């Protein structure tokens, strides 16, 4: 165990990946956050798997509390061994499709079937579920979750409430988080199952290439809304220094202030706490012309989507056409629902973060650490005692801060297979890498259709977008919501990691920005300033000319 939140690897399901979860917890997970919601996330995920019908007897050994999720060396991982079982047990499923949907390109070992992986009962249950999901027209439960979350936020005891009341409020978040997270997993795997049916039909007519266009511009994707709102601010008729613009920006923070970097971690600083991040993204958008306007892009994507749907339907036989229409509708509904459920969770986390910040500030006044976020280096129980006697925990916080900095300077292994490599084998973030020559390319995964050419601008921190602007291609390591507003300032986006269900893909498809994810090592091997071509239809990134 290296970090305070680390847990043992599962013996039954030993393969883990940073894929997908790396954009939810991109940094070292803080002990307070993981102690509060880590176990609830595991239990919520299992709740969802039970509802899906995926789970078979013996899947989860009773002596392993954490299997689906894990923290190793401070970084969060998803259990790829078990997620792959969906591809094994779902009718017509495959491990390769699951890997592509959730994890992207990696050096993960090939799947090897083991006794118990296949389960006829689970397959039958999943088959019935797919038929049920294909009939989905709306997700009213998500609106109920919004109301439930709003009620919980409304129960905030107040900034002047006693310590115990605020602590009880924070701990009381656990059952709500478990419920909301299970719903999010329901929608996530709902998308996987129904989009898999859609993809199978396109393969049947040898037009799988249409899938990227069909999934673009579906509309009502809540995770894309902050970027569109920032565009409006960047092109407002009011001057940025005017009271009118400041009022507009305040309204933006009221609505979207819970979003931002590492937003699932209570110790992070979303836009409400660090508005300079949002202002930096807005500033980069100001130079972009009307062709980048999300509204005009939405019209273009809708037109391309309609054409792709028409083409696909025209090649399908009448029976498959009916199934295609159902799969298309369900995929749209569940894609929108997945992002809506995530937004609801983030709003709830922000309220728990607010309570923690009030308590952390009180601890500072009692002699605790000056930076409130550093108190998240303590577990929930340690934090309770820290509130009463901060001096007793100053050394512990200092030691963990030092270790956190050390771990943050290392690149965690993308794949862990049965054994965690010692820290000495982890790559240093500052280590030099051999750059690509002119004429060479990286093969990633197609995210959003379109072809663009421009100057590569490597951005490693969304707070410092450098001179990114029109004519440039954003090269990013990973994309949580603090990154995606920068998409509107660029001609295209290339991301080191990601999969077809990653945040970068979902948002780029709504904003109409050509996107390639899982372009492994792009930030380290594509020379900054090089002229590159990005093909969002094929996933190919080509270096045309060196700077």
Please indicate, yes or no, whether residues 489 and 368 belong to a single structural domain of this protein.
no
Please indicate, yes or no, whether residues 22 and 167 belong to a single structural domain of this protein.
yes
Q: Give the distance, in angstroms, between the CA of residue 423 and the centroid of all CA atoms in the same chain.
A: 26
pLDDT tens string 31-59: 999 999 999 999 999 999 999 999 999 99
Mean pLDDT of the chain: 93
Please indicate, yes or no, whether residues 354 and 492 belong to a single structural domain of this protein.
no
In the 8-state DSSP scheme, what is residue 37? I
Helices and strands, number each (H, E), in the chain: 18, 14
Torsion angle of alpha carbons 368, 374, 379, 381, nearest 10°?
20
In the block, tokens 């600083």 appear at: 269
Overall domain count for the chain: 2
Beta bridge partners of 428: 410
pLDDT tens string 101-136: 888 777 889 999 999 999 999 999 999 999 999 999
Inside any domain, residue 343: yes
Inside any domain, residue 472: yes
User: Quick check: 338 and 143 in contact, CB under 8 A?
Assistant: no
In percent, the amount of the chain with pLDDT more than 70 equals: 100
Inside any domain, residue 95: yes
Please indicate, yes or no, whether residues 198 and 76 belong to a single structural domain of this protein.
yes
- Say if residue 505's pLDDT is above 80: yes
Inside any domain, residue 265: no
Inside any domain, residue 459: yes
Q: Quote the CA–CA distance of 266 and 349 in Å, as a whole number.
A: 7
In the block, tokens 């971690």 appear at: 265
96 phi and psi, to 5 degrees? Answer: -60, -40
Sheet holding 441-443, edge to edge: 441-443, 540-545, 531-535, 451-458, 472-476, 492-495, 515-517, 445-448
Tokens representing 303 are: 């037109």
Please indicate, yes or no, whether residues 378 and 493 belong to a single structural domain of this protein.
no
pLDDT tens string 270-300: 999 999 999 999 999 998 888 889 988 888 8
Domain of 521 in residue numbering reads as 441-545
Confidence category of residue 145, pLDDT binned at 50, 70, 90: very high
Please indicate, yes or no, whether residues 382 and 453 belong to a single structural domain of this protein.
no
Q: Quote the CA–CA distance of 175 and 221 in Å, as a whole number.
A: 26
Which region among 222-231, 244-253, 315-324, 383-392 has the lowest average model confidence (pLDDT)? Answer: 222-231
Q: Record the pTM.
A: 0.93
Tell me which of 365, 386, 407 is where a domain ends. Answer: 386
Inside any domain, residue 266: no
Please indicate, yes or no, whether residues 179 and 320 belong to a single structural domain of this protein.
yes
Inside any domain, residue 475: yes
Say which CATH number the domain at 532 has.
3.50.30.10
pLDDT at 500: 78
Please indicate, yes or no, whether residues 25 and 121 belong to a single structural domain of this protein.
yes
Tell me which of 349, 364, 386 is where a domain ends. Answer: 386
Inside any domain, residue 237: no
Please indicate, yes or no, whether residues 162 and 75 belong to a single structural domain of this protein.
yes
User: What is the average per-residue pLDDT within 231-250?
Assistant: 96
């Amino acid at each position: 165990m290296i970090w305070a939140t680390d847990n043992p690897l599962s013996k039954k399901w030993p393969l883990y990946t940073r894929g997908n979860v790396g954009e939810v917890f991109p940094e070292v997970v803080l002990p307070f956050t993981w102690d509060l919601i880590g176990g609830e996330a595991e239990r919520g995920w299992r709740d969802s798997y039970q509802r899906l019908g995926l789970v078979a007897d013996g899947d989860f050994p009773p002596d392993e509390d954490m299997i689906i999720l894990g923290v190793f060396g401070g970084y969060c991982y998803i259990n790829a061994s078990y997620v792959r079982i969906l591809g094994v047990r779902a009718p017509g499923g495959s491990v390769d499709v699951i890997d592509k949907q959730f994890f992207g390109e990696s050096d993960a070992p090939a799947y090897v079937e083991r006794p118990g992986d296949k389960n006829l009962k689970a397959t039958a249950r999943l088959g019935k579920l797919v038929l049920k999901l294909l009939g989905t027209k709306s997700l009213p439960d998500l609106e109920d979750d919004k109301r439930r979350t709003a009620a919980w936020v409304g129960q905030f005891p107040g900034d002047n409430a006693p310590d115990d009341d605020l602590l009880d409020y924070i701990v009381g978040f656990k059952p709500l988080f478990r419920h909301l997270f299970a719903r999010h997993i329901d929608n996530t795997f709902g998308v996987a199952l129904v989009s898999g049916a859609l993809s199978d039909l396109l393969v049947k007519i040898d037009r799988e290439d249409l899938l990227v266009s069909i999934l673009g511009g579906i509309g009502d994707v809540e995770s894309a809304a902050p970027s569109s709102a920032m565009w409006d601010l960047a092109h407002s008729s009011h001057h940025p220094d005017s009271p009118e613009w400041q009022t507009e920006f305040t309204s933006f923070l009221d609505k979207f202030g819970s979003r931002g970097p590492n937003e699932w971690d209570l110790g992070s600083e979303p836009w409400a706490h660090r508005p300079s991040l949002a202002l930096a993204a807005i500033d980069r958008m100001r130079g972009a012309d009307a062709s980048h306007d999300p509204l005009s892009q939405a019209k273009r994507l809708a037109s391309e989507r309609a054409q792709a749907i028409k083409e696909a339907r025209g090649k399908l036989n009448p029976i498959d056409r009916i199934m295609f229409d159902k799969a298309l509708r369900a995929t749209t509904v569940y894609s929108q629902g997945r992002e809506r459920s995530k937004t609801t969770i983030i709003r709830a986390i922000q309220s728990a973060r607010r309570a923690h910040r009030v308590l952390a500030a009180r601890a500072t006044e009692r002699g605790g650490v000056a930076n409130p976020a550093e108190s998240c280096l303590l577990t929930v129980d340690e934090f309770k005692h820290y509130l009463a006697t901060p001096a007793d925990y100053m050394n512990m916080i200092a030691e963990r801060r030092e270790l956190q900095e050390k771990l943050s300077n290392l690149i965690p292994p993308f794949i862990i297979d049965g054994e965690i490599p010692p820290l000495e084998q982890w790559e240093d973030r500052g280590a030099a890498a051999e750059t690509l020559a002119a004429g060479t390319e990286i093969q990633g995964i197609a995210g959003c259709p379109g072809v663009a050419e421009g100057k590569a601008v490597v951005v490693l921190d969304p707070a410092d977008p450098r001179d990114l602007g029109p004519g440039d291609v954003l090269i990013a390591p990973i994309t949580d919501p603090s990154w995606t507003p920068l998409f509107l300032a660029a001609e295209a986006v290339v991301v080191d990691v990601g999969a077809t269900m990653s945040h970068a893909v979902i948002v780029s498809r709504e904003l109409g920005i050509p996107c390639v994810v899982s372009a492994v090592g792009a930030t380290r091997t594509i020379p900054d300033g090089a002229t590159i071509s990005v093909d969002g239809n094929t996933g190919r990134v080509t270096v045309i000319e060196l700077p």
